Chains A and B, each alone.
Chain A
Amino acid sequence: SQTIHQWPATLVQPVGSPLSLECTVEGTSNPNLYWYRQAAGRGLQLLFYSVGIGQISSEVPQNLSASRPQDRQFILSSKKLLLSDSGFYLCAWSSGQANNSPLHFGNGTRLTVT
């Protein structure tokens, strides 16, 4: 069966520090990968999505970036965090082979920028 792993679960970082969040998927090949952010309250904001290695589409340019160095690995990065980067970051995958594959989410990373 397929599983998705995100780490760390929680993170407290000072303003101006770098960020690296990692997400890996097991049990499937060539998945579509997504990064979402959820600020306090509700609403899932799409940050990046990727349909293959090295293929990244950005929805929120700002100071965040994403990379996909391997087929089942998706990394969210920042060189200098802002207070406004605080939030709940969620990685998700869907099948790249099957039509109508729903999104499957990880357990998220709670980031607090101080």
Chain B
Amino acid sequence: LAKTTQPISMDSYEGQEVNITCSHNNIATNDYITWYQQFPSQGPRFIIQGYKTKVTNEVASLFIPADRKSSTLSLPRVSLSDTAVYYCLVGDIGNQGGKLIFGQGTELSVKP
């Protein structure tokens, strides 16, 4: 199982771009990388997912280098409402379920 490592916390200001990097050195060939956002007392919410290179959607971008041993979630122009915990999840979710182990996450604090 791929173990993930993220910074425990990050601070930013409104309007800035925030990049959160996740290390997953033992990622397996079939593993995908998925990022989630969690607000207090709520379940995590899916943000973005990728396998390699770059993926972009309406809220974020995900950059994955060729060796796939890390990934970076990029949040453009953050606002106060982006204050949350962000989790990187690496796993073979195409394998009809199975162990999906979360890391400790990154607590992002956006200040005015």
Contacts and interface: CB of A to CB of B under 8 A. Distances in A.
Nearest to B34: A102
B43 A108 contact: yes
A50 B49 CA distance: 22
A94 interface: yes
B81 interface: no
A42 B44 contact: no
Contact of B104 (A42, A50, A92, A99): A42
A90 B101 CA distance: 14
B85 A42 contact: yes
B98 interface: yes
Contact of A110 (B41, B46, B49): B41
Contacts of B97: 32, 34, 49-51, 94, 96
Interface residues of A, number: 28
Q: Classify the secondary structure of B's interface with A.
A: loop
Interface in B49-99: 49, 51, 85, 87, 89, 93-94, 96-99
Nearest to A46: B101
A99 B94 contact: yes
Interface in B1-57: 32, 34, 36, 41-46, 49, 51
A44 B44 contact: yes
A61 interface: no
Given A90-B44, A103-B100, 15 more contacts: A32-B97, A32-B98, A34-B100, A42-B105, A44-B44, A44-B87, A88-B41, A90-B43, A92-B43, A99-B93, A100-B94, A101-B94, A102-B46, A102-B93, A108-B41
Interface of A: 32, 34, 36, 42-44, 46, 49-51, 57, 59, 88, 90, 92, 94, 96, 99-108, 110
25 contacts: A32-B97, A34-B100, A43-B102, A43-B105, A46-B101, A46-B102, A50-B97, A51-B96, A51-B97, A57-B98, A59-B99, A90-B43, A92-B43, A96-B97, A99-B93, A100-B49, A100-B93, A101-B93, A101-B94, A103-B44, A103-B46, A103-B89, A107-B42, A107-B43, A108-B42
